[in-house]
A and B are shown apart, each in its own frame.
Chain A
Amino acid sequence: MTSETGFDTGLYDRFPTRGPRPAGELEKLEDAWCGPKGWQWISAINNNFIGVYYLGAAMLFFVLAGALALLMRTQLALPMNGVLPQETYNQLFTMHGTMMMFLFAVPAVEALGVLLLPQMLGARDLPFPRLSAYAFWAYLIGGLAFFGSLFFGLAPDGGWFMYPPLTGATYSPGINADFWLLGIGFIEISAIAGAIEIIVGVLRTRAPGMTIDKLPIFAWAMLIFAGMIVIASPSVILATLLLELERAFGWPFFDPLKGGDPLLWQHLFWFFGHPEVYIIFLPAAGAMSTIIPAIARTELVGYRLVVLAMLATGFISFGVWAHHMFTVGMPRMSVNVFSAASMAVSVPAGVQVFAWIATLAAGRMRFNTPGLFAVGGLVIFVVGGLSGVMVAMVPFDWQAHDTYFIVAHLHYVLIGGMVFPLFAAIYYWTPLVSARPLSERMGRWIFWLMFAGMHLTFLPMHLTGLMGMPRRVYTYLPDRGWELPNLLSTAGAYLFGIAVLLWGIDMARNFRPFRRKNAGNIYDGPGLEWLPNDLYSVRSIPVVTSLYPLWDQKGLSRDVATGRYFLPDNPTGGRETLVTSPMNAEPQFLLRMPKPSGWHVWAAVFTAAFFLLLTVQAYAAAALFGMLAVYTMFHWCWLLDRPMTQPRVDIGAGILAPSYAAGPASHGWWAMAITLVVAGMVVLLAGFSYVFLWSSRPELWKPPPDDALIAILGLYAVAALLAWLAVRLLTHDGPRSPVVSTLSMVLSVAALNAAGGLDVAGWLGAGLDPQASSQYAAVTALLAWQGLFLATAALMGLYIGLRLAFRYVLARQPATFEVVALFLAFSAGQGAFVAVLPRLFPGI
């Protein structure tokens, strides 16, 4: 294989090194990576801690949302039952769905990634440890506040897909819906932060030699998962923003009386909502594809087919959103195309199922708890997949849609496709983080109870649906024959609840995290995560030559543990990890990592407070906390890109690597690029919404201003050019280059804001009134979105100026400038889009 970076892969032959390691090396490493003491656990950023916190919080929300389900099943056990009043029930089912999707399923798999990926990839930690800690704290605080709304009767009650107009200000005047909109928007920010972390982690922090064809299947799954979050969640962020704007300010995006269209919400929501199902499923499937080979002690059959299947799922899942809308009266050609795509998306699922079966056949299955959960999950998932094919048939969906048949279908898919694999993962990987494994004996009980409870609950629901019972009903009339299946479902739900209770007892008795010594590789797994490890992850970072390194590379554990591979020490004295190239994992540079600090925690607290205060309409306090959040983030960034002390360091066996990187080689540039993809998706979908709103009521649209479009575009071009120039100037080693370069960057910010100002002035001159029509509302939203970027650009200008004042701007160290320039160039491009689209479409 040709080299990707110019690194000579022949150097890998120097490992494992011989001879004794220098004294004190290990102590220095331990010192840098020491665990938190006392209250420091709050500021911990090591993935060994954050991963466990994260998964723990996700499981807490699983139990809480499950408890809500038990309450609902109690109410539905009998017809016209009076256990729960109607409004409470409506809140409960909304919260159950929302929490299971947003507070349990996505965070749980994301947490699994944060916990496992560094170990699996042979990295010391994820590339942005404070970002994942921030994501965790934001999620925990936001999630608890969201759940707490139940106790005040303020929980949202419009269903987890929150269709307007029901959720608009007219029919949901309370702040309940705002809890959903702001809470979910906020939690999506946390999910995106985690996704950036995971993408950069998987692509850039793999052990040397772990080329893309030796990437563990779970890492593939997490990579695709994170990519899907980046593409899908902008849609729900946009949707929640638009609905919140309509509720708070009366901008009519969904109100048909002023040219809005309730269907716009459905398109935006499901463009996120359906991929969401696969976002949840893929990591769990990746876990299955990891656990099944380990338990059957054989390689995964069809690794490449499974990788392709997961990639194909990632793509095609974006072409099926409207199968949730077969009953809204869409044109037939659209319906048909979505039906075809919905069929197509089931093929990759079939490929994975048969790869698992073939793997079981090729090896010899051990019937331990992870194995049982894996096989049980497979069977349940197949049932859910088959009912999925049924509802992909449009005429059948006309009957089954919004009935208990769908409730059965989605629970089979999600429990078989995600919950059972997650429990398999918990039992399989607990020995990695706990001093004691979980109990095998209890595990089997839990499995069988859960398996039986699952079928008893959801199998009858297929029939209940065909018998005419719609979903989301707080009660039902007697004498419809619905009593028996509902009673069975309730009994099954309690069985499932008992299983979860037993699991909680098992955890309480055996889960002992954060000890120096963990139970280790009791299942004889083949992945790097089973190398002997400590808080610094592996003692040295191995050269990987196999997809199953612990099975195929003899003596690897010993050599790694005695420091005979890459980075056996910490040459710069702090926390570090190796950054490698995305395809071939060739070492590129040594990444100096941050130490624990409180800033990201405060940033999370203040961001959460900001959103919560917005929800309860305490706008002044919200503004205060918003500013505090910005300040803490500012401070957090302030610690980045400090002047380097040693340009090149020994990363093991005398191999030298830079300790600084800027531009596309650096991890920070990648994170910014991914963030901008998110932003680009938001503005692209906003453009879609704009066109969609026009198409629904073209006769109401007014002509745009015929003004300075050329001037606006020219200014944006100048801004992009100046940003580019700033970076070029800084790579030039002149005595005045920091000052000139900073000046160029600040001018770029000024040009951006001037262009944005011209754009807004043009529209105001044309009588822009966002409450008047969907056209004006959409234009205002586009301008406001661009305004957010211009304000951020101004902050960045301030940041750059301060860095110059503190003499942090140094020639040949342009990492920060590269990142800022990328942002400014994007803002210019986005500004041009925002200026052009509403002026040229639908035509003057």
Chain B
Amino acid sequence: MRGWSWMLSGLLIWAAHFSALYAIASLDAQTSADDHTLWTSAALVATLLCLAGCGLVLARTGFGAAPALPDRLAALGSLGAAVAICWQALGALFG
């Protein structure tokens, strides 16, 4: 289980970010205040946390010469996830 969690860590971080933003967007709509600053900041905090997570995974694996497949997938996943997380954060900023 730990092996799989590590291999999929980047993608799991993406999933956490997406869920957080979906929840934040729903709460924003539910409270229906005119001022969205609170929720936008919450989305930003979630984004920074998740990006830091991606960074940690990347730092732990690096792009060494021939890493084992799980390490490689963790690194690539974090890289891809970081892109998607930035895009989703843009979406929240433009909310």
List A residues at the B interface (Cβ < 8 Å). 1, 212-213, 304-305, 307-308, 311-312, 315-316, 318-319, 330-334, 336-341, 343-344, 347-348, 583, 695
Contact = CB atoms under 8 A, between A and B. Distances in A.
B6 to A, nearest CB: 11
Contacts of A331: 25-26, 28-29, 95
B95 A332 contact: yes
A813 to B, nearest CB: 25
Contacts of A334: 22, 25-26, 29
Contacts of B30: 695
A334 B29 CA distance: 9
A267 to B, nearest CB: 11
B58 interface: no
Given A212-B69, A337-B25, A344 B87 contact: yes
Top 4 A-B residue pairs of the complex, sorted by shortest distance between their CB atoms: A333-B95, A336-B91, A213-B69, A331-B29
A325 to B, nearest CB: 13
A333 B91 contact: yes
Contacts of A333: 21, 24-25, 28-29, 36, 39, 43, 91-92, 95
B70 interface: yes
Contacts of A308: 72-73, 76-77, 80
Residue among B30, B72, B76 with the highest chain A CB neighbour number at 10 A? B76
9 contacts: A212-B69, A213-B69, A304-B76, A311-B8, A312-B77, A331-B26, A336-B91, A337-B18, A337-B21
Contact of A319 (B18, B26, B77, B92): B18
A315 B7 CA distance: 13
Given A312-B80, A343-B87, A337 B92 contact: yes
Interface in B80-95: 80-81, 83-84, 87-88, 90-92, 94-95
Contacts of A339: 91
Contacts of A330: 29
B90 A340 contact: yes
A403 B80 CA distance: 32
A212 B25 CA distance: 38
Contacts of B24: 333
Given A312-B11, A583-B3, A348 B80 contact: yes
Nearest to B72: A304
B83 A347 contact: yes
Given A331-B29, A337-B22, A347-B83, 5 more contacts: A212-B69, A315-B15, A332-B95, A333-B24, A334-B22
Given A305-B76, A344-B83, A337 B11 contact: no
A316 B68 CA distance: 24
Contacts of A344: 80, 83-84, 87-88
A721 B32 CA distance: 45
A621 to B, nearest CB: 44
A250 B77 CA distance: 46
A326 to B, nearest CB: 13
Contacts of B43: 333
A1 B68 contact: yes
Contacts of B8: 311, 315
Nearest to B91: A336
Residue among A305, A316, A336, A339 with the highest chain B CB neighbour number at 10 A? A336
A120 B15 CA distance: 31
Given A213-B69, A311-B73, A337 B88 contact: yes
Contacts of B15: 315, 318-319
A334 B27 CA distance: 10
B73 A336 contact: no
A147 B91 CA distance: 43
A212 B87 CA distance: 31
Nearest to A338: B91
Contacts of B72: 304, 308
A695 B27 CA distance: 10
Nearest to A694: B30
B25 A213 contact: no
A340 B92 CA distance: 10
Nearest to A664: B1
Interface in B1-51: 3, 8, 11, 14-15, 18, 21-22, 24-26, 28-30, 36, 39, 43
Contacts of A307: 69, 73
A330 B29 CA distance: 9
Contacts of A318: 15
B10 to A, nearest CB: 9
A589 B61 CA distance: 34
Given A333-B39, A337-B25, A340-B87, A304 B77 contact: no
Given A212-B69, A344-B84, A311 B95 contact: no
Nearest to A332: B95
A341 B11 contact: no
A304 B7 CA distance: 12
A540 B30 CA distance: 62
A281 to B, nearest CB: 17
A348 B84 CA distance: 11
A308 B79 CA distance: 11
A338 B19 CA distance: 11
B94 A336 contact: yes
Nearest to A315: B11
Nearest to A345: B84
Contacts of A315: 8, 11, 14-15
A336 B84 CA distance: 13
A347 B80 contact: yes
Residue among A304, A319, A333, A343 with the highest chain B CB neighbour number at 10 A? A333
Contacts of A583: 3
A596 to B, nearest CB: 35
Contacts of B70: 212
Nearest to B88: A340
Contacts of A312: 11, 14, 77, 80-81
A341 B88 CA distance: 7
Residue among A319, A330, A695 with the highest chain B CB neighbour number at 10 A? A319
B18 A341 contact: yes
Contact of B77 (A311, A341, A695): A311
A473 B3 CA distance: 51
A382 B72 CA distance: 27
A788 B70 CA distance: 39
Nearest to A211: B69
